[in-house]
Amino acid sequence: MSTEEINDVVIVGAGASGLAVASELSKDFKVVLVDSKKEVTTTTKSWLIPDMVLDIGDARDINPYMYGGVKRFLTRTFGGADVIWDAYLKYHYCHEHELLAYWADLVKKNGAEIHLETPYSDLEVFDDRVVVRTLRGDYTGKLLLDATGGNSPIRAQFNMRGHYYWWSVYGAIVELPDGLNQMKVGDYMLWQTFRDSTVNENASLSQGRPCFEYEILDEKSAFVFIFYLSQEKIEMDYMKREFEYILRKEKSTSDFHNCVIQELKYGYYPSGGLDSQELARDRIGFIGSSGCWTSPCGWGMSFIISNYKRYAFNLTPALRENKLDKDTLSELTRQSMRSKYQVILDQVVTHFLSYASASLLDRFIQLFDPGSPLGDDAGLYCEKVFTLTLTEEEALHMLVAVVKTFNLKELADVLPKESYGYIAELAEKALEVALANGIEGVKHLLFHKKNEDVAKEHKLVSGFAFSSGLQ
Ligand SMILES: Cc1cc2nc3c(=O)[nH]c(=O)nc-3n(C[C@H](O)[C@H](O)[C@H](O)COP(=O)(O)OP(=O)(O)OC[C@H]3O[C@@H](n4cnc5c(N)ncnc54)[C@H](O)[C@@H]3O)c2cc1C
């Protein structure tokens, strides 16, 4: 099919980001979506979402597609880092197919078109429009939004690559015919590793060690998967073989050996930083995984929910004024976060998770054990890092605990040189906080090692966190 009329927006990709943004833009603009898939509800992803992002993104209308959620976090490494804590924050699992159907219905009710089985092939940018070529004809728009995900052909065409890490994921929704055994509904295995999963027992994730995770969705089903975190994507067939071995043969995954695979889940999503999100070209915006919409720890769907309404709102005047140059479009995405500080901290954590040896990671994970130098509520720090909700005081407290746990040489050996800038920014911020709080408070944090002192001061810190709320 070919159309000569000029749409306001052509969106390539009717996944989470394309449909979510289209559901808003189609209220005021003429929007067309194209996607190569056969059914609009198809997705190879499965989503766990912190409850708070529904408020951040003013997206309570999607609440009916949320259910259950994490109640307990666990880790189990072959080196003995077995940590368990009850979830402090509230999370949801998501009925992913139903959510996509909901957004697609809104798009259609607003009069926009969704063309499936329409793979993208090329584009041509003119001063006043973009022509998007697909295998089923051309679509013209004032603006093109690329929502094709972590393997965007459009980014590849522009030779664009941010300073990304990639989460490479392969897994499945499974049924558990033998029941849950010791596992409970709401369990989230955050980090399980195996001695024999690489040739080098102490290998890091970037050297090819897979991590096993599972989320117990209900009494009889789970989402189980392996993931890698590295600067290159891991080949899909390789991940599939590893997943099948770990799921069916590894001794410590015996609860899953007889499971029945219901639906495969796989893909790549970026883990970036502040720099990687500034992505646009004249008359082209990159959204979702294509635009590195993610927290540095990789919660891409959470980022989409937090930002899609705001993004569409901010884009509206630019579309009305037809001011769709690269600089204007680059300004549109703003992270929902308390401060840049959290993103930097999260980014350093991402570097660390990717590069640290298995034994260093064990020590890092043990930081989240209740009673570690982080205090009785140590797990809360972990949850706050990956939900980007640490206060500056808490981040400083965490930095101090990290410095007590590792010596600087160990950190310098693990973190790649490009993180040094981030660490310097962290140190600078820590100093600012120290000066604001009075240097005595920091000395107290650094040098008082008695447990009751740590617990007392920690209560103060987390009390501040809860009362200060979200921006
Ligand atoms: C297994 C897995 C689990 C995840 N779990 C979580 C989680 O728990 N929480 C969380 O916050 N995030 C999670 N994520 C990340 C989240 O899924 C992504 O951030 C999100 O899906 C990105 O949405 P998107 O619309 O940008 O891309 P996608 O969801 O990948 O959608 C891209 C769309 O573009 C279409 N497309 C691609 N190429 C073409 C082409 N050439 N022509 C036409 N159409 C094309 C595809 O068919 C697809 O419909 C997970 C990711 C994976 C892979």
pLDDT digits (tens, 9 = 90+) for 35-56: 999 999 999 999 999 999 999 9
Q: Which residue has the higher pLDDT, 424 or 34?
A: 34
CA nearest to 362, candidates 59, 6, 122, 76: 76
pLDDT at 293: 84
3-class DSSP assignment, residue 378: helix
Pairing of strands 6-12, 137-146: parallel
Write out residues with Cβ below 6 Å of ligand 1. Answer: 12-18, 34-37, 43, 45-48, 119-120, 147-149, 153, 169, 225, 265-267, 269, 288-290, 299-302
Phi and psi dihedrals of 265, rounded to 5? -130, 130
CA distances, 291 to each of 61, 188, 232, 272, 306 (Å)? 24, 28, 17, 10, 15
270, β-bridge pairs: 166
pLDDT at 283: 97
Between the CA of 427 and the centroid of ligand 1 the distance, in Å, is: 35
Q: Which residue has the higher pLDDT, 414 or 321?
A: 321
- pLDDT-wise least confident of 291-295, 352-356, 453-457: 453-457
- pLDDT-wise least confident of 108-117, 224-233, 370-379, 403-412: 403-412
Q: Return d(Cα 229, Cα 425) in angstroms, integer.
A: 24
**Other C-beta atoms lying within 10 Å of the C-beta of residue 322:** 12
- Beta strands in 193-318, from DSSP E residues, in sequence order: 211-216, 221-230, 260-271, 280-281, 284-286
Mean pLDDT of 422-434: 66
Check pLDDT > 50 for residue 459. Answer: no
Mean pLDDT of 260-273: 89
Mutate to test the pocket of ligand 1, among 301, 333, 388 (most ligand atoms within 8 A of CB): 301
- pLDDT-wise least confident of 225-234, 265-274, 337-346, 432-441: 432-441
**Other C-beta atoms lying within 10 Å of the C-beta of residue 154:** 22
Residue 164 confidence class, pLDDT cut points 50, 70, 90? confident
pLDDT at 370: 87
Buried (b) or exposed (e) across 180-209, using 16+ Cβ within 10 A?
eeebebbbbbbbbbbeebbeeeeebbbbbb
Looking at ligand 1, which residue's alpha carbon is closest to its atom 37? 148
Looking at residue 368, its amino acid is F
Residue 451 confidence class, pLDDT cut points 50, 70, 90? very low
- Considering the chain, what is the average pLDDT of its residues? 85
3-class DSSP assignment, residue 256: helix
Q: Give the orientation angle of helix 340-355 with respect to helix 420-437, to 10 degrees.
A: 130
Mutate to test the pocket of ligand 1, among 148, 170, 215 (most ligand atoms within 8 A of CB): 148
pLDDT at 461: 23
pLDDT at 447: 42
Between the CA of 399 and the centroid of ligand 1 the distance, in Å, is: 33
pLDDT at 96: 98
Check pLDDT > 60 for residue 266. Answer: yes
**Other C-beta atoms lying within 10 Å of the C-beta of residue 213:** 19
CA dihedral 378, 382, 384, 390 (to 10 degrees): 70
Structural domains of the chain ordered from first start: 6-65+95-162+273-333 (3.50.50.60), 165-271 (no CATH), 337-467 (no CATH)
Mean pLDDT of 284-296: 86
Phi and psi dihedrals of 112, rounded to 5? -85, 160
**Other C-beta atoms lying within 10 Å of the C-beta of residue 64:** 11
Q: Return d(Cα 321, Cα 30) in angstroms, integer.
A: 15
Mean pLDDT of 412-428: 70
Looking at ligand 1, which residue's alpha carbon is closest to its atom 5? 47
Mean pLDDT of 15-27: 98
Taking CA 256 as the corner, what is the angle to CA 356 and CA 206, rounded to the nearest 5 degrees?
A: 15
125, β-bridge pairs: 130
pLDDT at 424: 72
Check pLDDT > 90 for residue 6. Answer: yes
Classify residue 375 as left (phi > 0), alpha (psi -120 to 50) or beta: left
CA nearest to 405, candidates 359, 464, 463: 359
pLDDT at 445: 44
Residue 403 confidence class, pLDDT cut points 50, 70, 90? confident
Find where tokens 């190879």 sit. 44
Between the CA of 44 and the centroid of ligand 1 the distance, in Å, is: 7
Check pLDDT > 50 for residue 469. Answer: no
Q: For the segment 143-158, what is each residue's pLDDT rounded down to a tens digit?
A: 999 999 989 999 999 8
